[in-house]
Amino acid sequence: MKATITMIGTGDAFAQNYANNNAVIHADGFRLLVDCGYTAPTALQRLGMPFSDLDAVLISHTHSDHVGGLEELALEIMHTYQRKLVLYLPNTLRDPLWEKLNSELAQEPLPSLDDYFTVKLIPVDEPTGIAPGLIVEPVQTEHIDNRLSYSFIINERFFYSADMRFNPKLLHQLVNDRGIQLIFHDCQLSSPGTVHASLDELLTLPESIQTMTKLMHYGDTMPDFIGQTSRMTFLEQGIAYEF
Ligand SMILES: [Zn+2]
Ligand SMILES: [Zn+2]
């Protein structure tokens, strides 16, 4: 069965013209928010996606453009709908996330993560069925030193990088050994790529991989780069892509 993913934002952490790089996956009636940055609540509203429609949220790592809107979303859902948001986390992210929410965000300090969310830890490097027609496998990838960060293999055919440095070996393996057919990859437009893959690095991928690669997590100068991405294309906010 086909599922869809809609980017509610495609911007990097500093973009003004694009919301944070977060997405909603829609599979067989189930809606999963992938990352919830500080712009996510507004971006969801703008796209006409009420918070109450979300069944769960999945987090890749603890940067603010991926978790900065979590507390607002959780509190809103608690106060308005009297329920806790279901939170899927790679199992190693539980403590770092709580540290982040508790120290920087807490508008209403609560004793634990479980007071905000129904927490569901998922194993790394193992596929977990989240809903009928939705299987998620977290893969640890390099992003920032000393901070855990995960990419996701979704339904065994779609690779969502979230935030990662260029890793051509992994991309080749995913395509050749794991049968990945679609890649959403973060893309830093200027070089050198430091904590993200740069466009120049991604352009070194073979055509066969570029053809299945779509670019996200870009800066405000993205329009200047249209036509300079070879076989790769930029993802757009608010459009549902099938996978
Ligand atoms: Zn990041
Ligand atoms: Zn980011």
The whole-number average pLDDT for the span 4-33 is 97
**227-236 confidence digits (pLDDT tens):** 999 999 999 9
Q: Which percentage of the chain shows pLDDT scores above 70? A: 97
Ligand 2 centroid – CA 82 distance (Å):
30
Residue 112 has pLDDT above 90, yes or no: no
In the predicted model, what is the mean pLDDT of the chain?
Answer: 95
Ligand 2 centroid – CA 207 distance (Å):
26
pLDDT of residue 106: 62
Which ligand neighbours the alpha carbon of 186 most closely? 2
Are 3 and 25 in contact by the 8 Å Cβ rule? The answer is: yes
CATH of domain 4-242: 3.60.15.10
Residue 54 gets which letter from DSSP? -
- What does the domain layout of the chain look like in residue ranges? 4-242
Ligand 2 centroid – CA 16 distance (Å):
14
Ligand 2 centroid – CA 196 distance (Å):
9
Q: Is 126 exposed, middle or buried (0-12, 13-18, 19+ CB in 10 A)?
A: exposed
Which ligand neighbours the alpha carbon of 195 most closely? 1
Distance CA 102, CA 109 (A): 7
Give how far Cα 113 sits from Cα of 33, 42, 71, 122, 161, Å. 18, 23, 10, 16, 25
**36-45 confidence digits (pLDDT tens):** 999 999 999 9
Ligand 1 centroid – CA 54 distance (Å):
23
pLDDT of residue 116: 87
Distance CA 121, CA 111 (A): 19
Partners of residue 4 on adjacent β-strands: 26, 242
pLDDT of residue 101: 87
3-class DSSP assignment, residue 90: strand
Residue 218 gets which letter from DSSP? B
Residue 157 has pLDDT above 90, yes or no: yes
Q: Which two tokens stand for residue 138?
A: 């977290």
Are 127 and 25 in contact by the 8 Å Cβ rule? The answer is: no
**48-84 confidence digits (pLDDT tens):** 998 889 999 999 999 999 999 999 999 899 999 999 9
Which ligand neighbours the alpha carbon of 9 most closely? 2
